[in-house]
Amino acid sequence: MRSRELAVVLMVCAVTLPAVYGDIGDEASFALLRATRFYRTVLSCRGGYLGEYSEDLDVWIGEGTEAPHKIWIQPPGTPSVGQTFLSAYSATGDLRYLEAARAVADSLIWGQLVSGGWEYTVDFLGEGVWRYRHEDVDDPSDRNQCTFDDEVSQSATSFLMAIDSLLDADPYADAARYALDFFMESQFPNGAWPQRYPLSDDYPDNYADYYTYNDQVINDCIDLMLEAYAIYGDARYLDSAERGGHFIIISQIDEPQAGWAQQYYWNLSPAWARDFEPPAVCSRVTRENIISLLELFLTTGNETYLEPIPAAIDWLNSSTIGDNLWARFYELGTNLPIYCDRERKLTYNLSELGEERREGYGWQGSYGTSGISMYQEVMSKGRDDYLAERNRELTPAQRLQRAAGLEDRVRDAIESLDDEGRWVEDGWIYSSTFNSKAGYLISYLDYSGYAPAKPTVPQFDEPRFTATDESITIEIGVRSAGPAGVGEVTMRLTPPTSTEVHTFVDDGTSGDRETGDGIYTLAYSIDPETSLPVYWGMVVAEDDKGEWNLTLLPLGLISRIASGLAVIASTIEEASGLGVDLSGLSGELSLLEGELGTTPDEDGLDEILERLEDLETRIRAQTVAELIEIAADLIESAKKMGIDTTRHEIFLGRAREEFDKGNYGPARQFTEYPLRLSEEISEPLLALCLILSAALFRRIPT
């Protein structure tokens, strides 16, 4: 569970904007801000996010059940949430959203592997386990494999390119270019991409090394390289995309089944992947390949990319199983729809599949429709007219018409947002829901013209504070803010008589609003060295004497401390569940949290951050040390019962070696196998006694 002990309140100050489109615009703007605040201040881990959270925040889900010290890269996770923040900034000009997007980018850079891409998750306690690029390791051979599956590495790279094109700052440009080099390195000479790279030790017998269309692997890679070419103008990226198009052409199956399979062996024959994914003609892949070929034609004008499409459409038209309905797989030769259960059990009837497979895979759908309609539209209009229409800016009337068409969805997004700024569905908070509902709000604000593309967070020279018995006033000298060019912004707080601090937020909404705990932007300044914004927040905290202190501090520093607290709390909770006693170090954490309540200055927070990082290291060290001892006791007990512990001892030895080097992450990984000894004992009660006796034995004084 994420720690909530940081007793600071950071106030928001923004500039008045005209309410051009009435109450729904005001409400949409405020709802978007509240939803973003909740994601940033409650769910964020060092700037990144997972996919699902239980309403009580006891369960965190990404690629399976995760801990709060991990983030998820697969959409709708971290990069997708980052794109939502960037869209919000583009529509509103509010730098709070840009700040949130930059935090996402920083988390992705932290989790970029030496090979250049990303795994499904980034583990902020995984240093020394995964070969993260920021660690500058010499041997990148271990735990360095990236995935293209489910748009993981593609979405992360696309987001970094987007923020780089906006800010043109070295950290983002370097990470994006490094990733693009990885995409070109991982591409086979024939233009295909595998599902994962570097290739496995089992190549070419591992399906993750096959030429892979499934889950749009090759299509997403082509799209990314076309996007990179559009942003950077580097001909190497266009060449990579075109080589991907070449592979689409050469891998097309012969007529009359002129579609494509989901994956191919090295000899270009359709291949098995997972046990329910047979070698077959796939309608879904065929649609995606038609679209990729059309995009390559639209970019290059090369009509070679159009040549495979008519035969593919003929096959799609001859293979429907209903009105605009296709099976996913068609048997090679017979063209009969086929379905596959676990253990490669083929059937011609969907109802004969087991429930788990029948419900857990997209066996049927309107797969061919969008590819066919796009081809017809491009052919009827011609390349130039099609591109001109696609790229044409909307007229003011068209924008207002689109805004009006969104009003029902916008109203639903506003009304379904709860008091904490969450969209909760059946007890769960979904990042996919956040992205979609925030997207409706953003599109409405953009189309309606409600939020001008100008900063709504003031830029200051020197802040001034005054306090009386009646109120606290914060005055900020402003260089530029909003359409009126306001010269000064004043925020007044009610008398500090309780821990509830109220502030008048003049941001186009009305009334005094209770802010609640969280991290919010007060203002920003420009770093003279990087020319990038530095975001600041007002810390308002009550000390042990009941007096209130105010300090202006960089939000990045505050965010790092908040994330550090969350990671440490998660580590302590996980260790406690394994029987490790960290009560002494937990007391240190409480002392640090108490010091934060005194509102230290920036130097003081730097010191606290250093102490937090040191505490995190010591907690990890003590946890692993105790787990090694528990594992050793389990091995000794198991030996007495006649259990072969040879492999367990090997793993324990590796754990001790890594521990002695200070590599606590790998050491923790190596303890998992010997700790599973209890599972190898047939009687559950005996297993429980074995664990308890081992744990008690090591705690009895000798």
Instruction: Tell whether omega for the bond before 204 is within 30 degrees of 0, i.e. cis.
Output: yes
Mean predicted confidence (pLDDT) in 257-269: 97
- pLDDT-above-70 percentage for the chain: 73
* Lowest mean per-residue pLDDT among 67-81, 104-118, 369-383, 644-658: 644-658
pLDDT of res. 301: 98
Confidence of residue 94 (pLDDT cuts 50, 70, 90): confident
> Cα separation of 573 and 368, whole Å?
49
Stretch 482-506: mean pLDDT: 30
Q: Which residue type, as a one-letter code, is found at position 260? A: W
Structure tokens that stand for 663 in this block = 């590599």
pLDDT of amino acid 12: 29
591 residue type, one letter: L
- pTM for this structure? 0.72
Q: What phi and psi, each to the nearest 5 degrees, are found at residue 75?
A: -55, 135
Residue 240: per-residue pLDDT: 98
Q: State the average pLDDT over residues 190-205.
A: 92
Local confidence band at 518 (pLDDT 50, 70, 90 cut-offs): very low
Which range is most confident: 21-35, 195-209, 573-587? 195-209
Indicate whether 647 pLDDT > 50. yes
Of 317 and 20, more confident: 317
Quick one: which of 510, 511, 608 has its CA closest to 551? Answer: 608
* Chain mean pLDDT for the chain: 79
* Per-residue model confidence (pLDDT) at position 231: 96
Supply the pLDDT for residue 68: 78
Radius of gyration of the chain (CA): 28
Confidence band, pLDDT 50/70/90 cuts, at residue 149: very high
Other beta carbons within 10 Å of 400: 15
pLDDT at 578 over 60: yes
Cα–Cα distance for residue pair 249/304, rounded to 1 Å: 9
E-strand ranges in 218-303 read 263-264, 281-282
Structure tokens that stand for 419 in this block: 């008091």
Neighbouring CB atoms inside 10 A of 590's CB total 10
Alpha-carbon gap, residue 627 to 651, rounded angstroms: 13
pLDDT band at residue 153 under the 50/70/90 scheme:
very high
The span from the CA of 452 to the CA of 405, in Å, is 20
What gap in Å lies between CA 165 and CA 425, rounded to an integer? 35
Task: Name which of 178-182, 206-210, 545-549 the model is least confident about.
Answer: 545-549
Helices vs. strands in the chain: H and E counts, helices first: 21, 26
Query: Which of 161-170, 209-218, 451-460, 620-629 is the least confident region?
Result: 451-460
**Contact criterion met (CB below 8 Å) for 142 and 125:** no
Question: Is residue 491's pLDDT more than 90?
Answer: no
Looking at residue 598, what is its pLDDT? 55
Asked if pLDDT for residue 411 goes beyond 50, the answer is yes
Instruction: Find the angle CA(38)-CA(40)-CA(42) to the nearest 5 degrees.
Output: 60
pLDDT band, residue 474 (cuts 50/70/90): very low
pLDDT of 407 over the 80 cut: yes
Tokens 């010191």 identify what position? 607
- Do the Cβ atoms of 296 and 245 come closer than 8 Å? yes
Better-predicted residue by pLDDT, 222 or 609: 222
Query: Sorting pLDDT into bands at 50, 70 and 90, what band is 262?
Result: very high
Mean pLDDT of 512-531: 44
Element (H, E) at 34: helix 22-38
Residue 308 scores a pLDDT above 50: yes
* Sign (positive or negative) of CA dihedral 554, 556, 561, 566: positive
Q: What is the pLDDT of residue 558?
A: 59
Residue 72 banded pLDDT, cuts 50, 70, 90? very high
Tell me what pLDDT residue 582 has: 78
Average pLDDT for 561-587: 72
Q: Which domains does the chain have, with CATH numbers?
A: 1-16+454-599 (no CATH), 18-186+393-451 (no CATH), 191-389 (1.50.10.20), 601-702 (no CATH)
